Chain A
Amino acid sequence: MKKNILKTEGFKCVVVLVLITVLMCGLLAVLNDVLYVTPEERLNRAVESVYGKSVEAEELTIDNERAETTMGRVEKLYAFTDEGVYYELMQTTGLNGYKNGTVTMWVLVCFEGDVPVAIRNVQVDSNEKQTLMSSFGSDFYQKYTSLTRDQLENGTLFKTGTSYDDESIPVSAVTQVVSGATRSSNAMNNAVNTAILYYWGDLT
């Protein structure tokens, strides 16, 4: 006797799973629309987080010739003026991290007139394939803002090493030592170096 497929348990299983999926997808579609975070909102958050207060920033066009290096690439560039000082906020992605992963960072550069003079702040935005990101303390990030204008103009870059007195490291490099997260810190250094190269020229 031919079995009615509509009355089989297999058919019931498929129907129930499909119905649950459709119901859940509908719920998520509505909520995704309601709770969507706009790119403007994300930018405001980034500015507030990196600069310390909320200011209106405008997007700038990136100079494509300097935007991509062997160390990383410039993703986005924004500018704002606050209390008479002009700032540029750059989103850069550093390459060569752990498992060839990347780290994307925000780099805030302050200007005197038209001339970039210092890295005011640096913050991690996101990362791919990286582990041990929690190993980075505030001391590590403070190093990025410690460079003087002379150091930046004379070609100082950041480099990951195992020791501060490693002879293979160029004199112009500031060595970052992070136990257990060397590859991730390499990608971070590359992200900041990409910003330095963008503003202060190709110094390699």
Chain B
Amino acid sequence: MKTDFKKIAVDGVITSNPTLKLVLGTCPTLALTTLAMNGIGMGAAVTFVLICSNVFISLLRNVIPDKVRIPAFVLIIATFVTIVRLVLDKFLPSIYESLGLYLPLIVVNCIILARAESFASKNGPLASAADGLFMGIGFTLALTIMGAFREILGAGSIFGVKLWDFKIEFFASSAGAFFTYALFIAVFGFVSYTLHTKKKIKNYRIKDVSPAETETAKEV
């Protein structure tokens, strides 16, 4: 069966965006989006784990018995999370410290286990890698944009660069995280619904309607 990479990409970033559409991985989303840089760091870590675990699980999908698939998936995911921790601690200690507790918690991130279970265990390695990549991009984009929004309003800076002295402390707080998340879900939902509806109307209009069908419709 031919892999539809375009569909995988659109699904990962927009249609099934893990953060804003599926509402998965909310723990790091709420806790780490105080800064845009945290969003990029966490997003990159999750993307790496997603790609590697998806590929590995996909390669072993015919070997792993169904009854032990979940512990096997968790073993594989935990290994790649540990690798991310080792790499960040060695080369990017500042990001390692800022992500703190949420880095090992990637093991129990619903996005990764969900993709392993629903996609990687049923598809080939290439398609699984693409799924991991685009799901990761969708997650990273959502976290970075939310982080930028909260950083600008809550700290008056962007990526650590000071913009102005004005700041609304509420957006840097936990309550601000929930508010921002709700706001982004609402805006994302509204925009995707509007675009979806417009697309449906457009498809309906360009559909060929035969004169006989039109007459029947008039009589009804």
Residues of chain A having any CB pair with chain B under 8 Å: 9, 12-13, 16-17, 20-21, 24, 27-28, 31-32, 35-37, 45, 134
Contacts and interface: CB of A to CB of B under 8 A. Distances in A.
A28 B63 CA distance: 22
B71 interface: yes
Contacts of B89: 35, 37
B68 A13 contact: yes
Contacts of A21: 75
Interface in B52-86: 60, 63-65, 67-68, 71-72, 75-76, 78-79, 82-83, 86
Given A9-B67, A16-B68, 8 more contacts: A12-B65, A13-B67, A16-B64, A17-B75, A20-B64, A20-B76, A28-B83, A134-B34
Contacts of B76: 20, 24
B189 interface: no
Interface SS of chain B: helix, strand, loop or mixed?
helix
Nearest to A12: B65
B75 A31 contact: no
Nearest to B100: A133
A17 B83 contact: no
A106 to B, nearest CB: 13
B90 interface: yes
24 contacts: A9-B65, A12-B65, A13-B65, A13-B67, A16-B63, A16-B64, A16-B68, A17-B71, A17-B75, A20-B60, A20-B76, A24-B75, A24-B76, A24-B78, A24-B79, A28-B79, A28-B82, A31-B83, A31-B86, A32-B86, A35-B86, A35-B89, A37-B89, A134-B34
Contacts of A17: 68, 71-72, 75
B93 interface: yes
Contact of A35 (B60, B72, B87): B87
A9 B90 CA distance: 42
Interface in B26-65: 34, 60, 63-65
Nearest to A17: B68
A13 B67 CA distance: 8
9 closest Cβ pairs, A-B complex: A24-B79, A35-B86, A13-B68, A35-B90, A13-B65, A20-B75, A20-B72, A17-B68, A12-B65
Contacts of B68: 13, 16-17
A28 B86 CA distance: 9
Contact of A37 (B65, B71, B83, B90): B90
Nearest to A125: B97
A12 B93 CA distance: 41
A16 B72 contact: yes
B102 to A, nearest CB: 12
Contacts of A37: 89-90
B86 A27 contact: no
A17 B64 CA distance: 8
Contacts of A9: 65, 67
